[in-house]
Chains A and B, each alone.
Chain A
Amino acid sequence: MNRRDALSRVALLLGGTVVGGAVFLEGCGPGADKKAADTAAATANAFDANGIAYLDEVAETIIPATTTPGAKDAKVGAFMAVMVNDCYEERDQKIFKEGMSKIEDASKKKFNKGFMAIDANQRKELLTEIDKEAKAYGASKKPDDPNHYFRLMKELTLLGYFTSEPGATKALRYVAVPGKYEGCIPYKKGDKAWAT
């Protein structure tokens, strides 16, 4: 068997911080799944058009448009909604959706305005703080402890972006049909990584 295939190359690309691979699948796999009756009401509309626009802005803050397209160009908000609905177990769905409200609360607390109303620098500042909090939480997290919502959002942003057409072909290098394998070629700093 060719076991390396088990790791998607995107997961490899993203290395330590990471989307995909075992970390993602862990969230995606069968496991203890506690029903939460209150979830539905609280988060019923999380993924409506406004919700997806919101997620687009969260993703765009993590991966902004630069000389190459950003997360919004790659429709990462809609992708996150699909993945949460289809590939997450209920516990993580709830964490993810409630996380959207937590970002909103944190924004109001810090800037007296909702996340959609603050500017790009403020968004970056806010999400950088939340990212640090998520990392600190992750460092002491036991396997059965709930995931941090921002970890899920960041994972899905990176996965969604780097496997999207603009992400794979413009931010990274993508060759559908290489035609041959060359084991050892020159690389200079700044050259893009292979998308797959």
Chain B
Amino acid sequence: MPDTTQVNINNKAQAQNTYDAIVIGSGISGGWAAKELCELGLKTLVLERGRNIEHIKDYPTATTPIWEFPHRTRMLEKDIKDNPVISQCYAFTEDNAHFFVKDKEHPYVQEKPFTWVRGYQVGGKSIMWGRACQRWSDFSFGGPARMGYAVDWPIRYADVEKWYGHVERFAGICGNKDGVPDIPDGDYLPPFEMNCVEQEMKRKISEKYKDRYMVHGRWAHLTKPNPIHLEQGRGQCQARDLCTRGCPYGGYFSSVSSTLPWAKKTGNLTIRPHSVVHSIIYDEKKGKASGVRIIDANTKESIDYFARIIFVNAAAMNSNLILLNSKSNRFPNGLGNDSGILGKYVAHHNYRGSVNGDYDGPEDKYYFGRNPSQPMIANYRNLGKQDTDFIGGYLTFCGAYRGGANPQGDQIGADYKEALTEPGGWRVFMYMQGEVVPREANHVRLHPDLKDPYGIPQLITSVSYTDNDEKLLKDFLDQSKEMMEAIGCTNVVQHDNKWAPGLDIHEMGGCRMGKDPKTSMLNKWNQLHHCSNVFVTDGACMTSTGNQSPSILYMTLTARAANYAVGEMKKMNL
């Protein structure tokens, strides 16, 4: 007679560890999955590999004035030497460093230089994100089909339009309605004002270029909170511009200030921090995923959790890693990976170019407060027709500020000091967010031998720029210089920071959406073609990169997929 004791224990453990849904990751998209699924009545487990973060309580530097930092926010030489990867990130500073993963915590192999910026904590990188939120247009969704790269997106703007609104209204996105084709207007709170020189820039650019539109920044800030935001416990942005430290006012959107506490109020949410996901468990009999295997980061114990549906929101590269590591008899090359496409067609945004110059602006004008957003110029390249020798386009962030004083007399002493205490002349800047065309050679894969501290294979990154990226960069630099000179800037300087891919922190793809299971991983609902109860709705799902800031699209696709998934569960299709 078989010994049934073990089975009974397992059944009990299994019942205790069973939820309706599991969400892997608590960052910007995982938070949305949790909110939607919990609101729709599903008992939802969110697995987060890092520590817990509670809104306000766990923002240790949120209100610290600069003089209280011993190094005035500079990092120590020792920390920089110990962390050659993360120390390249602009926000890895004395006031923010506690939100970033140190190099030794999660090693990976750079077959080609790739700067992987990560934030392992409840809220993920949504705590330190850049917060720009433009909608995609059909120029972007239709780009691959029109210009013949990657594969066609299985969706168009009409498929996501109402979900953009759903997300924007809840998250609180400020912006102006400008009627610009490549960045459709959203459901916005009032924008931050442009300063006087930015207003001049806007006017002059529109006079000189009929197809170029400089508009107010569209940013995830509560400029004028609605009742739905106050109900989240969030308040108006105070224009401190210390966002990456966490905002004690809840002035910008993050998972920890917004979606996760909202999900918690339903009583349906369980968050399990310190849960490093090893793999998704595939049930060969049912032909579906049955759950998720984690390693407890503290005890190193392996634990299985079970659910009817699984949302993968671990951030693009880690979602690829998890799927690649989810091997079974049915899927020896990674979950749902019959096509062999998993991990391939990784792409990112090209942030290499910037242009700066002087502007003879009004000396009798200044500004009050610190604008956490920036104006931007919508993409004006290759919209609907090919008008350059490269594929894709770029969005330009831009703005003006009064720079440092440039004392002309004494360079030491009282007069010098007094001169330095006044603002200097106006400076104008532009920098790019360029589309990078996904290609098969740009990929990630598992290292056959090297493991991370949890025994999980290390990721190999093999991503590089192409000639197309160099051409697009050159065009941005030349066009921006021309525009700045056309509006009256002098001493215009072009700069290529030569960043490696990844430092843009807009890594995408590897598990792309598409119509054909032979050439894509996910269908139009972000559902694995070959494992229907697994949804991937973070940056990994991106078929192409567009030129717009990506997070708001991840949130939108997540909300849309979660509502679809619950509908399918009710119809007993999942």
If the complex has contacts A171-B417, A179-B238, A190-B422, are A185 and B367 also in contact, measured as CB distance less than 8 A?
yes
What is the bound-complex CA distance between A132 and B412, given in angstroms? 10
9-residue interface stretch from B31-39, B284-292, B368-376: B368-376
For window 15-53 of chain A, which residues contact chain B by CB distance below 8 Å?
15-18, 24-25, 28-30
Contact: A176 with B65, CB < 8 Å? Answer: yes
Determine whether A184 belongs to the interface, using a CB cutoff of 8 Å to chain B.
yes
- Report the number of A-B residue pairs with Cβ-Cβ less than 8 Å: 211
Q: Looking at the complex, which one of A9, A63, A176 makes contact with B417 (CB distance below 8 Å)?
A: A63
Which one of A96-104, A106-114, A136-144, A155-163 is at the interface?
A: A155-163
B423 near A6: Cβ-Cβ < 8 Å: no
Give every chain A residue within 8 A of B505 (Cβ-Cβ).
1
Q: Kindly identify which residue among B67, B76, B238, B420 contacts A178, using a CB–CB cutoff of 8 Å.
A: B238
CA distance A149 to B241 in the complex (A): 34
Against A, the Cβ 8 Å flags (1 = close, 0 = not) of B72-114 are: 1111111011001001001100000000000000000000000
- Cβ-defined partner of A179 (8 Å) among B80, B193, B239: B239
Asked if B401 and A12 make an inter-chain contact with CB atoms under 8 angstroms apart, the answer reads yes
Interface size on B, residues (CB 8 A): 78
CB-nearest residue of chain B to A15 = B404
Contact of A191 among B192, B366, B406 (CB under 8 A): B366
- When distances are taken between beta carbons in the complex, the residues of chain B under 8 Å from A165 are 65, 67
Contact status B71-A87, CB under 8 Å: yes
Categorize the interface residue count of chain A: 35 or more
Residues of B within 8 A of A127 (CB): 412
Question: In the complex, which residue of chain B has the Cβ closest to the Cβ of A90?
Answer: B77
Proximity bits, A159-180, B CB within 8 Å = 1, else 0: 1101111001001101111111
**Chain A residue nearest to B84 in the complex (CB):** A30
Alpha-carbon distance A188/B402, docked complex (angstroms): 14
Contact between A64 and B374, CB atoms less than 8 A apart = no
CB–CB A182/B77 < 8 A: no
Judge if B467 is at the interface, Cβ distance under 8 Å.
no
Point out the residues of chain B lying under 8 angstroms from A15, CB to CB. Answer: 403-406, 424
Q: Which of B104-138 contact A (CB under 8 A)?
A: 129-132
Q: Is the CB of B366 within 8 A of A187?
A: yes
CB pair B77–A187 under 8 Å, yes or no, is no
- Residues 48-78 (chain B) with a chain A CB within 8 angstroms: 63, 65-67, 70-78
* Interchain CA distance A11-B412 in the complex, whole Å: 18
Residues 186 to 220 of chain B near chain A (Cβ within 8 Å): 192-196, 198-199
Using A1-B505, A183-B367, A186-B365 as known contacts, say yes or no to A14 and B404 having CB atoms under 8 A apart.
yes
Cβ–Cβ contact B239 & A181, under 8 A? yes
B504 close to A (CB within 8 Å): yes
Select the residue from A1, A9, A175 with max chain B CB neighbours within 10 A.
A1
**A110 smallest CB distance to B (angstroms):** 15
Indicate whether A95 reaches chain B with its CB closer than 8 angstroms: no
Is A5 close to B, CB under 8 A?
yes
Check A177 against B77 for contact (C-beta < 8 Å): no
Contacts of B369 in A (CB 8 A): 175, 178-182
Query: Nearest Cβ in chain B — how far from A165, in angstroms?
Result: 5
Knowing A164-B67, A181-B368, A184-B193 touch, does A2 contact B131 (C-beta < 8 A)? yes
CA distance A79 to B65 in the complex (A): 16
Does chain A have a CB within 8 A of B411?
yes
Does A193 lie within 8 Å of B363, measured CB to CB?
A: no
Q: CA of A158 to CA of B412 in the docked complex: distance in angstroms?
A: 11
Closest chain A residue to B88 by CB distance?
A: A29
Question: Is B390 interfacial (CB 8 A cutoff)?
Answer: no
Among A13, A17, A181, A196, chain B packs the most CB atoms within 10 A around the CB of A181
Residue of B whose beta carbon sits closest to that of A120: B413
Across-interface contacts of B306 in A (CB, < 8 A): none
A124 CA to B410 CA in the complex, in Å?
10
A183 lies within 8 A of B413 (CB): no
Q: For A194, what are the chain B residues with a Cβ–Cβ distance below 8 Å?
A: 370, 423
Q: Is B311 an interface residue (CB 8 A)?
A: no
Q: How far is the CB of B73 from chain A (nearest CB, A)?
A: 7
Q: A145 an interface residue at 8 Å Cβ cutoff?
A: no
Q: Is B244 an interface residue (CB 8 A)?
A: yes
CB atoms of B240 and A177 under 8 A apart: yes
From 367 to 417 in chain B, residues with beta carbon under 8 angstroms from any chain A beta carbon are 367-374, 397, 399, 401-407, 410-414, 416-417
Q: Which of B76, B195, B431, B506 contacts A86 (CB 8 A)?
A: B76
Quick check: A83 and B239 within 8 Å, CB to CB? no
Contact between chains at A184 and B195 (CB < 8 Å): yes
Let me know if B418 is at the binding interface, CB within 8 A: yes
B132 CB contacts on chain A under 8 angstroms: 1-2
CB atoms of A6 and B90 under 8 A apart: yes
For the complex formed, measure the closest distance between the CB of A96 and the CB atoms of chain B, giving whole angstroms: 13
Q: Which residues of A contact B504 (CB under 8 A)?
A: 1
Known: A2-B132, A16-B404. A185 touches B244 (CB 8 A): no
Chain A residues whose CB sits within 8 angstroms of the CB of B404 once the complex forms = 11-18
State whether B412 touches A124 (Cβ < 8 A): yes
> Which A residues lie within 8 Å of B63 (CB)?
176
Sorted from nearest, which 9 A-B pairs have the closest CB atoms?
Answer: A15-B404, A183-B193, A178-B369, A1-B130, A6-B90, A187-B366, A181-B369, A181-B239, A184-B196
- 12 A-B Cβ contacts within 8 A? A6-B90, A10-B66, A13-B404, A13-B424, A63-B416, A86-B76, A163-B72, A176-B63, A181-B367, A181-B371, A183-B198, A191-B366
Given contact pairs A64-B414, A178-B239, A187-B423, enumerate 18 new A-B contacts (beta carbons under 8 Å).
A1-B132, A2-B130, A4-B429, A11-B404, A17-B407, A17-B411, A28-B75, A66-B417, A87-B77, A131-B411, A171-B417, A178-B369, A183-B194, A184-B193, A184-B367, A187-B363, A191-B422, A193-B422
Chain B residues within CB distance 8 Å of chain A: 63, 65-67, 70-78, 80-81, 84, 87, 90-91, 129-132, 192-196, 198-199, 238-241, 243-244, 351, 354, 363-374, 397, 399, 401-407, 410-414, 416-418, 420-424, 427, 429, 431, 504-506
